[in-house]
Structure 1
């Protein structure tokens, strides 16, 4: 049986996404355009165009890697993104449980912390290094893989997903 659940964003993530996107778009359009039109030297135009491209690609990749939907197939957990999917085989999972974000310092190693969600490599003193695909930490769960990798993912009805995966692991 295939189960699909949407990844929802917390109010904080939605607010940060709107504010940062607005600032990036305004700054990313206004400043390079001013540099391109006002300055006549070629170096300024190259810098302006480069900044515009950098900001444009940053926003595109941010959107492309945001988690959209979690799917439980017959053999895998699949985190669907616009750009590719993340597959975790049930046979590789050693443990799955709800993840309660406590007052533990989180360190972002490489990724995004709030703009569209929490995506990338993170570290905290409780669970160590992990890869996050989270829209709302109140709906998050932790997956431990037998090669010591850890994933924190989120979706609607996380409790139901955790119980379903546990039942599939027992089979």
Structure 2
């Protein structure tokens, strides 16, 4: 039996799965979903946008700090502390949190400037996170020998985290 080379799409999906899919991307997407869902939209889309962006920035700074400190555990006791290297590694790991916030913030910003009605932008921002979680699950559970139905189960399970945020929205407001 001759081993076949993976096609271009498979190589791209493998690279995507290994470079972008991260705990920070998943937890960041859920975090943004929850923040948007509990934000009081009656105060206006600006309030939702402001609360979301400030929360993401606080969590991102915290994530960078935590990873910078945690990187120090990898060095031997006699080695010098290299904050520059630790900080660079921390920035790389924490980028998923910023990636997670970008799509819903774009929709909230569009709603802020009237491209979409505020309520529409609010719900689109919330549902786009559910969609993103589903795509993350689909990509994360991908691979050459993974059956489509297992990928679908992974996508649905991951998207369910976003659906819980929508349910929270319905229960809170």
Structure 2 length as normaliser, TM-score?
0.28
User: Which structure has more RCO (C-alpha within 8 Å, separation ≥ 6)?
Assistant: 2
Structure 1 length as normaliser, TM-score?
0.28
Higher strand share: 1
